[in-house]
């Protein structure tokens, strides 16, 4: 234990975590974000601090932000292997924290129950600051948000970055600036609109950029596949031209799929077929086997691979093929130490878990929006706030 953490004995440490976990019918589908925060929490327990966890949870299944942590406390207790003292409302927070002995883990209910959190209200942050003596941000995946607990709190209390947060940015920085070449990025996902800035950044940093999903479609007509008008995302034609030209001038090779897995209309029904680029009646849902081979060859020639966005509709057979084959291949190359792999984004990480390779990837990011924002901007509102006058304790 460092002298710095030792100084936190008996101190109230506010730890902003991101326990916004994927839920289905109220059940936690993936506890990675809790496991990720464990090292920081354990270190604070060893230092005999009083730990007060702050987090939001956005219950997207019912389209609201007002879910409670109450039903998922057993999952948090199981992962942390310790009882949680739960604070259902800020009104009772001071008394509960006062009563709890050092070495307790206390959890305040959903920060988004208070409008001041998302409004980035300074008085709400001041109220939270009264609960602690020290602040730690261990919520990489939420730190792209300009919210009170992320940007105001660190300016009100002595503060530090959490261990997992620093690990996240260190590996992304390494990929962008210092990692071994050749570097490859694979970007998929449905909509080009959400990835334009990511692509613009990556072409200046990688040797090869492979495109899958709906995003690849936007590029096809520029590579001679004129029949893919269905995919031409007209609002982005200029952006696509700009990306292609910049890639050329930066020496970044764009890798575009050469075949697809699709449903093809056949009089009154649809049949699954592998098609090349000349079928007008097809609905495309995945990249085809030749494209998978092509992507794999480039992976094998690379030293670092960063992946964001599935290349097809991987939840539905047979359209899982492209994403699954690439996941298995990247996992194997990583296991054999031929590449270092970084995978980020909610759907892509979910795919790694689904195909059983999550543990083989060098770094699986907890971030979705934060992962994209950090690659694009190399900063996050919640990170900049903590790095100002940080007290390094880990
Ligand atoms: C996430 O799951 O990406 C973070 O927890 C941020 O959640 P939000 O999109 O509801 O702000």
Contact 20, 57 (CB under 8 A): yes
pLDDT of residue 220: 80
Nearest atom within ligand 1 for CA of residue 58: 10
Nearest atom within ligand 1 for CA of residue 145: 11
Ligand 1 pocket test: pick from 58, 138, 347 the residue with the most ligand atoms within 8 Å of its Cβ. Answer: 58
**Of 305, 323, 303, nearest to 185 (Cα)?**
305
- From residue 375, alpha-carbon distances to 27, 187, 191 in Å are 31, 13, 18
3-state secondary structure of 262: strand
Q: Cα(111) to centroid of ligand 1, in Å?
A: 12
Q: Cα(247) to centroid of ligand 1, in Å?
A: 31
**Of 297, 355, 296, nearest to 329 (Cα)?**
296
3-state secondary structure of 260: strand
Structure tokens at 159: 């503060």
3-state secondary structure of 42: helix
Its pTM stands at: 0.92
**Of 331, 367, 373, 321, nearest to 346 (Cα)?**
367
Nearest atom within ligand 1 for CA of residue 56: 5
Q: Atom 6 in ligand 1: which residue has the minimum CA distance? A: 142
Structure tokens at 62: 């019912």
In angstroms, the CA 215 to CA 193 distance is 9
In angstroms, the CA 318 to CA 341 distance is 25
Q: Cα(381) to centroid of ligand 1, in Å?
A: 14
Q: Cα(172) to centroid of ligand 1, in Å?
A: 19
- From residue 362, alpha-carbon distances to 36, 39, 85, 187, 323 in Å are 14, 18, 34, 18, 18
Q: Cα(134) to centroid of ligand 1, in Å?
A: 24
Terminal CA-to-CA distance of the chain, rounded, Å?
A: 9
Ligand 1 pocket test: pick from 29, 149, 368 the residue with the most ligand atoms within 8 Å of its Cβ. Answer: 368
Q: Cα(173) to centroid of ligand 1, in Å?
A: 22
In angstroms, the CA 334 to CA 342 distance is 10
The number of CA neighbours under 13 Å toward the Cβ of 109 is 17
pLDDT of residue 229: 46
Contact 107, 53 (CB under 8 A): yes
pLDDT of residue 62: 54
- The H-or-E segment that residue 308 falls in is strand 304-308
Structure tokens at 136: 């730690």
3-state secondary structure of 114: coil
Ligand 1 pocket test: pick from 369, 371, 372, 380 the residue with the most ligand atoms within 8 Å of its Cβ. Answer: 369
Q: Cα(211) to centroid of ligand 1, in Å?
A: 25
Nearest atom within ligand 1 for CA of residue 370: 3
**H helices present in the chain, as ranges:** 3-6, 32-46, 73-80, 93-99, 115-118, 122-129, 148-151, 163-173, 196-202, 213-220, 237-250, 289-300, 321-335, 346-354, 369-377, 381-387
Ligand 1 pocket test: pick from 145, 308, 345 the residue with the most ligand atoms within 8 Å of its Cβ. Answer: 145
Each residue's pLDDT expressed in tens, for the chain with a length of 394 residues: 677 777 999 999 999 999 999 888 878 888 999 999 999 999 999 999 999 999 999 866 555 556 899 999 999 999 999 999 999 999 999 999 999 999 999 999 999 999 999 999 999 999 999 999 999 999 999 999 999 999 999 999 999 999 999 999 999 999 999 989 999 999 999 888 889 999 999 999 999 999 998 888 888 877 765 555 444 456 788 899 999 999 999 999 999 999 999 888 777 888 888 887 666 556 789 999 999 999 999 999 999 999 999 999 999 999 999 999 999 999 999 999 999 999 999 899 999 999 999 999 999 999 999 999 999 999 999 999 999 999 999 9
Q: Cα(318) to centroid of ligand 1, in Å?
A: 30
pLDDT of residue 1: 67
3-state secondary structure of 97: helix
Q: Cα(20) to centroid of ligand 1, in Å?
A: 7
Structure tokens at 391: 């007290």
Contact 299, 330 (CB under 8 A): yes
Q: Cα(394) to centroid of ligand 1, in Å?
A: 26
Q: Cα(87) to centroid of ligand 1, in Å?
A: 22
Q: Atom 7 in ligand 1: which residue has the minimum CA distance? A: 142
The neighbouring-strand residues paired with 108 are 87
Contact 131, 52 (CB under 8 A): yes
Q: Atom 3 in ligand 1: which residue has the minimum CA distance? A: 368
**Of 118, 24, 112, nearest to 68 (Cα)?**
112
pLDDT of residue 280: 57
Query: Ligand 1: which residues within 6 Å by Cβ?
Result: 18, 20, 58, 141-142, 145, 368-369
Max Cα distance, the chain (Å): 75
Q: How many helices (H) and strands (E) does the chain have?
A: 16, 17
- From residue 84, alpha-carbon distances to 44, 53, 336 in Å are 15, 10, 40
In angstroms, the CA 146 to CA 148 distance is 7
Q: Atom 4 in ligand 1: which residue has the minimum CA distance? A: 142
The neighbouring-strand residues paired with 27 are 24
């Amino acid at each position: 234990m460092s002298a710095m953490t030792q100084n936190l004995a008996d101190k109230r440490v506010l730890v902003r975590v991101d326990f916004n976990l994927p839920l289905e019918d109220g059940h936690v589908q993936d506890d990675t974000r809790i496991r990720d925060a464990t090292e920081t929490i354990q270190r604070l327990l060893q230092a005999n601090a009083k730990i007060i966890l702050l987090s939001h949870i956005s219950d997207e299944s019912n389209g609201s932000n007002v879910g409670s942590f109450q039903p998922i406390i057993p999952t948090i207790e199981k992962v942390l292997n310790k009882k949680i003292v739960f604070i259902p409302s800020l009104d009772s927070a001071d008394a509960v924290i006062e009563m709890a002995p050092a070495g307790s883990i206390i959890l305040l209910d959903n920060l988004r129950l208070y409008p001041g959190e998302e409004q980035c209200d300074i008085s709400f942050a001041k109220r939270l600051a009264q609960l602690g003596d020290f602040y730690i941000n261990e919520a990489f995946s939420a730190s792209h948000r300009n919210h009170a607990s992320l940007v105001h709190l660190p300016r009100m209390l002595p503060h530090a970055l959490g261990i997992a947060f620093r690990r996240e940015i260190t590996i992304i920085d390494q990929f962008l600036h210092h990692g071994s070449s050749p570097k490859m990025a694979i970007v998929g996902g449905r909509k080009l609109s959400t990835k334009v800035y990511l692509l613009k950044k990556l072409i200046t940093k990688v040797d090869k950029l492979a495109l899958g999903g709906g995003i690849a479609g936007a590029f096809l007509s520029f590579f001679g596949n004129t029949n893919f008008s269905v995919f031409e995302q007209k609002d982005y034609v200029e952006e696509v031209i700009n990306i292609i030209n910049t890639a050329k001038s930066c020496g970044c090779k764009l890798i575009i799929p050469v075949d697809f897995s699709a449903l093809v209309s056949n009089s009154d029904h649809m049949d699954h077929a592998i098609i090349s680029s000349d079928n007008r009646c097809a609905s495309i849902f995945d990249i085809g086997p030749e494209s998978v081979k092509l992507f794999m060859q480039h992976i094998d020639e690379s030293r670092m691979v960063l992946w964001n966005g599935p290349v097809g509709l991987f939840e539905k057979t047979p359209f899982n093929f492209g994403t699954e084959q690439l996941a298995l291949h990247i996992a194997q190359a990583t296991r054999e130490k031929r590449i270092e792999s970084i995978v980020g984004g909610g759907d892509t990480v979910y795919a790694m878990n689904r195909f059983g390779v999550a543990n083989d990837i060098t770094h699986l990011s907890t971030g979705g929006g934060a992962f994209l924002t950090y690659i694009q901007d190399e900063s996050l509102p919640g990170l900049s706030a903590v790095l100002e006058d940080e007290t390094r304790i880990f």
